[in-house]
Amino acid sequence: MALWSKRHLYTEENVKAFAPSSGGVYRLFYKNAGDTVVFYIGLSDNLKNSLLGHLALGRDNGDIKRYFQCYNCFFRFIKSSGSDRERIQQREIIRYSPPCNNQ
């Protein structure tokens, strides 16, 4: 069974250094008074590209970008094959009910 990565500050440098180009599921979150607040769960064939895409200036993902403007955000990921990705993403969405997935 695959494990979630360590928490990394969500910066372009950290995505390039730590996120793999393989497929999987990722969480975007911030810390608030010691609590972890997950605001988005994504899945991708290329974790590095997807995580970099959310940081891109021209990309229209305003709801996610609002969190970047207000908080120090973090990311974690888990590598998984295509058949497991949707199952993992759905489990995580049920667990955290992230607002950017519930639109």
Residue ranges of domains in the chain, CATH in brackets = 8-101 (3.40.1440.10)
Summarize pLDDT for 1-41 with one digit per residue, the tens.
579 999 999 999 999 999 999 999 999 999 988 899 999 99
Residue 74 has what pLDDT? Answer: 98
The whole model's pTM is what?
0.91
Query: Do residues 27 and 92 make contact, with C-beta atoms less than 8 angstroms apart?
Result: yes
Provide the token pair at 58.
Answer: 């021209």
Summarize pLDDT for 45-57 with one digit per residue, the tens.
999 999 999 988 6
Give the amino acid at 9. L
Query: Do residues 25 and 41 make contact, with C-beta atoms less than 8 angstroms apart?
Result: yes
Provide the token pair at 13.
Answer: 């440098």
Report, as an integer, the average pLDDT of 66-81. 93
